[in-house]
Structure 1
Amino acid sequence: MVRRSMDELDRAIMEALSVDARTSNRRLAAQLDVTEGTVRARIKRMEDEGQIHITALTNIDLLRNPTLVYIWIEVERSEQSDSVARQLAAVPEIGFVGKMLGRFDLLAITLVQNNAELADFLHRNVSGVKGVRRTECSLGVKFVKHDYRMSRIVHSEQVSEG
């Protein structure tokens, strides 16, 4: 599959959808001064090539008692980092997994409603993963700013072939 780099029109469509993914193709076409078919084809191509993924996001500001949990993970051996990261990434409740530099090897982020749910989650989904030596949690208890668009995909301008 040849993945094309995004041009100005692709970026304009992506930007509009990042504000409101339910905007109709007709409205986008009118805003961007192109045909509806062009918008539809561009969105389909970007989805097919994995450049965008349109989905619904939970507004954590509306949850009853959201606690954002940063789970810092130390692995037993550094060569286990990729395997542990893949296993954690497969857990549906974990929204972010990243390899880190510094005191811990990995960071996983999730949301829980209370301490009991956190303890159960850690025992059920994290501590038992082969290669996890220890974990430490940091809790986000008050959200000063939460911009859901921060998870928007950022693309390189290179054309890749695969």
Structure 2
Amino acid sequence: MKWRSKDLKQYLQAKEYIDTIMVPLVPFHLSNEQDMEKDSFRNEVLTVFSNEMEKELSGRMMLMPVYNYIKSTDMNVEKDRLNDWVEDIKVQPFKHIFFITFDSKWRKLEQELDGTLIWLPTVQTGDILSKELQSMIREQVKEITEFIRSYW
């Protein structure tokens, strides 16, 4: 399920079965032109990955809107803001909250997050449609799916 009206209507009718939520964490930084393309590519890959995870765990997981933040921001402020999101999320009966990102800065704050961080190794650049990248995404989806299922 995704954060869209059709899926939310279905969620409200069956929310006792949907106990897991995933929040993609995506930094951006328009003032640093040399990183813009790389950051944009990572965002694309994370979007594809998140959508594949949502398909794989359909009926049990909801994919939240992307949590965007400025790359150079104070990560403690972002951690607090993200935990505020979680407080609102917990109003619904979500038992398992996962954050997914390529940004390794979150790893330093992992213990302070009110959820489980899934950090993916960085993908530099490439063709989002290449067989190699699609294969890598499929393999990671399998691994992360098993990881999430271990929480159930």
Q: Normalising to structure 2: TM-score of the pair?
A: 0.28
Structure showing greater radius of gyration is 1
Higher helix fraction (1 or 2): 2
Higher strand fraction (1 or 2): 1
Q: Normalising to structure 1: TM-score of the pair?
A: 0.27
